[in-house]
Amino acid sequence: MTIGILKEPLFESRVSLLAGEVAALTKNGIQVWVEADAGLKAFCMDDEYIASGAAIKTRTDIFEGADILLCIHYNEIPFYLKNKVLIGVYQPLINIDQVEDWNNQLLTVFSLDMLPRTTKAQSMDVLSSQSSIAGYKAAILAASVYPRYFPMMMTAAGSCSPAKVLVLGAGVAGLQAVATSRRLGAVVEVFDTRNEAKQDVLSLGAKFVEVEGTADASKAGGYAVDQSEEFKERQKMRIAESIKKADVVITTAQIFGKKAPILVTADMISTMRPGSVIIDLAAATGGNTEVTADNVTITHGNVTIIGAGNLASAAPSDASKLYGKNVLNFLKTLIDKEGSLTIDFADSIVNNTCITHDGKVISQMVNNKLSTINPNHGNITQLH
């Protein structure tokens, strides 16, 4: 069994495994090949990988010789190579067009954003480990771009009032943004459609703004669900009231497998005071504001809006360490004691994350999405 670690695209600073996690594999007799300089931007050098028992190889060597390819972002695999196993975060429900290509190439693709939110899967949950870092970095980034203090300052020259931070979405990223903003001394207000988030928000010393009439999300596995049009209107009005008073807005609202909801309109941004900052962590799935562009900083009037859909990459060492630990735990479900690949489709972790295998779509959610796009999709056989 050979596991290959690919260098990520230019915009990405993380790597799938750092040397410490590689050592855990090589100790168990698994061969690991690392593309030259794959860990450079996460400050893990080639000689550290070698000391952990890995070999440094070219990209072509890894494509051709490794059984399992680890790459956070999807890489085009040369078409003549079939039956490769890929593990990363590929958002198949959003990037649904790629699924057919994977099947045509007989790729076995595991996408870790599709993990079920169960206790057993918690140690593999890349969405949580990476969102937590993104939430922390969002508050730090906002504080550095914001042209005023975050904490209240009383000096001999006069006093400055604390920044007012509005956080939209109190999931893993949002709560970390709340905690970090509070630590920096800001006054924080929060919206979420899941009322269960209220206690977490209050325990961090922030205010939770309740909007009545939220849709029941109790059967959505911890995720938010789409809201009624009436609710959306009511929520928009409440957000408009809050945003007028906010200096910084951190948006994190996501609906699993769908485009992010637009919660902030251009008109609302126009009511913010000059110098205000918006960090949009939902930018990769369209963003929570009308004007967001992913990985781009724009200004609307005198407000700065930063589209930050990949902010975990801004802390590449810790992000890679935690991502790598998640991947190691996931690999335990695929590799048996003898070090061979054993794909057990009866395991819910496997059948939720496996998108394609042997020319078939495995994930039920992806199959459902394909059926809504193309009613003839039923022709593709499912294994389970």
Q: Which residues contact 300 (CB under 8 A, 6 or more apart)?
A: 266, 269, 270, 291
* Catalytic residue (one of 128, 182, 294, 318): 128
From 184, 172, 171, select the one nearest 142 (Cα to Cα).
Answer: 184
- Shorter beta-carbon distance to ligand NAD: residue 35 or 200: 200
- Shorter beta-carbon distance to ligand NAD: residue 255 or 277: 255
- Shorter beta-carbon distance to ligand NAD: residue 37 or 210: 210
223 as an active site residue: the answer is yes
- Shorter beta-carbon distance to ligand NAD: residue 84 or 194: 194
* Catalytic residue (one of 98, 223, 294, 318): 223
Q: CA 91 to CA 315: how far, in whole Å? A: 21
φ/ψ of residue 241, rounded to 5: -65, -45
- Shorter beta-carbon distance to ligand NAD: residue 21 or 192: 192
CB of 260 to ligand NAD, least distance (A): 8
- Shorter beta-carbon distance to ligand NAD: residue 82 or 245: 245
192 as an active site residue: the answer is no
Cβ-based neighbour number of residue 375 at 10 Å: 8
- Count of CA atoms in the C-beta half-sphere (13 A) of 203: 8
Q: CA 315 to CA 136: how far, in whole Å? A: 10
* Catalytic residue (one of 125, 192, 247, 280): 125
- Shorter beta-carbon distance to ligand NAD: residue 117 or 182: 117
Q: CA 17 to CA 48: how far, in whole Å? A: 12
CB of 221 to ligand NAD, least distance (A): 8
273 as an active site residue: the answer is no
* Catalytic residue (one of 31, 46, 117, 318): 117
Tell me the two tokens of residue 361. Answer: 């779509």
Q: Which residues contact 316 (CB under 8 A, 6 or more apart)?
A: 13, 14, 15, 41, 42, 43
CB of 250 to ligand NAD, least distance (A): 11
From 49, 59, 58, 110, select the one nearest 84 (Cα to Cα).
Answer: 110
CB of 127 to ligand NAD, least distance (A): 5
Q: What is the contact surface with ligand NAD in residues (CB under 6 A)?
A: 117, 122, 125, 127-128, 131, 168-174, 191-194, 197, 222-224, 227, 252-256, 261, 263
- Secondary structure (3-state) at 376: helix
- Please provide the DSSP assignment of 157-216 as one string: TEEEPPPEEEEE--SHHHHHHHHHHHHTT-EEEEE-S-TTHHHHHHHTT-EE---S-PPP
CB of 351 to ligand NAD, least distance (A): 17
Q: Which residues contact 54 (CB under 8 A, 6 or more apart)?
A: 5, 19, 22, 26, 32, 33, 34
* Catalytic residue (one of 122, 123, 199, 364): 122
CB of 130 to ligand NAD, least distance (A): 10
Determine the residue with CB nearest ligand NAD. 171
From 62, 57, 78, 80, select the one nearest 4 (Cα to Cα).
Answer: 62
Tell me the two tokens of residue 220. Answer: 């959505």
CB of 261 to ligand NAD, least distance (A): 4
From 132, 166, 135, select the one nearest 303 (Cα to Cα).
Answer: 166
Active site residues: 117, 122, 125, 128, 223
